[in-house]
Amino acid sequence: MGVALISAMGSCSLPLQAMPLTINTEEYPPFNYADDQGQIIGSATMLLRNALRQADIEAYFRLLPWARAYTEARLSDNHCVYSTTRTREREALFQWIGPLVVNEWAAFSLAERELDVTSLSELRDWRIGSFREDAVGDYVASSGSNVLLAPSERENIARLKAGLLDVIVTGKATGEFMAQEQNIALEHLFTFHRAPLYLACHPSVSEALLARLQTQLDALHRDRQEESQ
């Protein structure tokens, strides 16, 4: 489990924050994951760290299996979780900050299988892998497919390589990252949805604190847009 602390340097945060936020995440590269030294990195992580620092908010980062990371943020005071898809079922459970990044949901198979699958309806005849409490897998299951759930995304890659799965559904960038990381040839079958990813916080977290964080996050997005123009 990775743990990191961002320290608040000014006194202005004290009335809004009696204790540091606990921010849970998972291994979901390239958005959030641990490097070789156990530090939590990734594109969503770095954006969130910068926004927290500029908002003068203290936070602990923890890397956990997704189901635990999500459940603790849903049930525990002063906890948050990212990168989280904002679904109708989850909406009232959290306070939402973001978006951080945009995730494209995609289906992959081993390239050597040469599967001819181009839509969700065609997945129903195949063994599909996702992981517990994942919005991508829930979405595919709601379309009528039988989805087999693993504890983590990387275990799905191992199951695919072992022939226990035919297809995995995940973020497109995540699938491509893990394929390169593990030196396996995946075939991108199709993309079926685009979903912004957020920081989801327990209702106990100060609304004023989160408003300050959202302001800094919005400013960072504006700066990036201006730099890219």
Instruction: Determine phi and psi for 145, rounding to 5 degrees.
Output: -90, 150
* Summary mean pLDDT of the chain: 91
Strand ranges inside the chain, DSSP E = 3-6, 21-25, 33-34, 40-41, 59-63, 79-85, 95-110, 128-131, 147-150, 167-171, 186-201
pLDDT in tens, 157-209: 999 999 999 999 999 999 999 999 989 999 999 999 999 999 999 999 999 99
The domains found in the chain, sorted by start residue, are 3-102+196-228 (3.40.190.10), 103-194 (3.40.190.10)
Q: What are 109-159's pLDDT values in tens digits?
A: 999 999 999 999 999 999 999 998 999 999 999 999 999 999 888 899 999
CA atoms 135, 79, 48, 214: torsion sign: positive
- Positive or negative, the CA dihedral 106, 136, 103, 65 is negative
Between CA 93 and CA 102 the distance in angstroms is 21
Alpha-carbon distances of 221 from 18, 55, 67, 217, 227, rounded to whole Å: 28, 14, 29, 6, 10
Taking the C-alpha atoms of residue 155 and residue 162, their distance in angstroms, rounded to an integer, is 10
Record the tokens describing residue 24, joined without a space: 């849970």
User: What is the phi-psi region of residue 183: left when phi exceeds 0, alpha when psi lies from -120 to 50, beta otherwise?
Assistant: left
Long-range contacts of 84-89 (CB under 8 A, 24+ apart): 84/197, 84/198, 84/199, 84/200, 85/135, 85/136, 85/195, 85/196, 85/197, 85/198, 86/195, 86/196, 86/198, 86/200, 87/135, 87/138
Task: Evaluate if residue 105 carries a pLDDT over 50.
Answer: yes
Q: Point out the least confidently predicted range of 10-14, 56-60, 116-120, 217-221.
A: 10-14
